[in-house]
Amino acid sequence: MPSTKPPPLPNSTNKKAPKPGFIGRVVGLLFRAALWFALLFVIDKVLPTLRLQTQSFVVSKWQQATLLQEPLPTDNSLPSPLPGQHLADTWGAARSAGRSHEGIDIFAERHTPVQATTHGIVSKVGENNLGGNVVVIIGPGGAGHYYAHLQEFGDIAVNDWVEVGDIIGYVGDSGNAKGTPPHVHYGIYIQGRAVNPYPLLVKD
């Protein structure tokens, strides 16, 4: 009985592919080396940044948890953000749009350094409509310390740890204080609610 197996196709499937020439091998080697170099460059640039960001995030969360265990500020326990300047209790004074003043205003020359009243973690360095240039520091007990109308910021960034007396900004009139005498609006928020900071500050 004749075989039904088809004859082999006349192609090059059974032939070995020709080896690349010397120049081809060199080009291929250089291409692979370039890929490895690019990969190592990316790893060298990206991984340290990611590591530092992760470290900063973890440390700040641990510091926040520690701060929550510390007691809230009490009467006459906090230094003034503008040492030597007159303090007046302007809490609750009428403001535009039916608002009441949720803090106190402390007046001083423009560019006077504004000092942190507490140790804690910087949670905001930025702007808002009313406060202009503002800084928020989370202190003991989770209290938020709010500094507004700054002319410019100190050398601080979000997640930085600050100590009492560190410069966090400079007196100005930014935000809705534009055109008024330079001052810092200082407010304290506990569990999201504003409290009068005046009794908590040490009076000179």
pLDDT mean by block of 10 residues, the chain; 204 residues: 58 57 75 74 64 65 87 96 94 78 93 98 94 96 96 95 97 94 96 94 88
State the CB neighbour count (10 A cutoff) for residue 195: 18
Backbone phi, psi, residue 83, to 5°: -55, 135
Residue-level pLDDT at 4:
61
Burial of 58 from C-beta contacts in 10 A (0-12 / 13-18 / 19+): exposed
Task: Report yes or no: 165 and 115 within 8 Å, Cβ to Cβ.
Answer: yes
3-class SS shares of the chain: helix, strand, coil, % to 5:
30, 25, 45
Residue-level pLDDT at 124:
96
The whole-angstrom separation of Cα 126 and Cα 172 is 14
**DSSP alpha helices (H): ranges in the chain?**
22-68
- Residues 157/161/166/171 CA torsion (nearest 10 deg): 40
Residue-level pLDDT at 99:
82
**Adjacent-strand bridge partners of 148:** 185
Instruction: Look at strands 183-190 and 104-107 and give their pairing.
Output: antiparallel
Please give the structure tokens belonging to residue 133: 């240039």
Q: Distance between terminal CA atoms of the chain?
A: 119
pTM of structure: 0.72
Residue-level pLDDT at 53:
60
Give the CB-side neighbour count of residue 138, counting CA atoms within 13 A.
Answer: 22
Burial of 170 from C-beta contacts in 10 A (0-12 / 13-18 / 19+): buried
The whole-angstrom separation of Cα 36 and Cα 25 is 17
Residue with tokens 């905001």: 124
Residue-level pLDDT at 38:
74
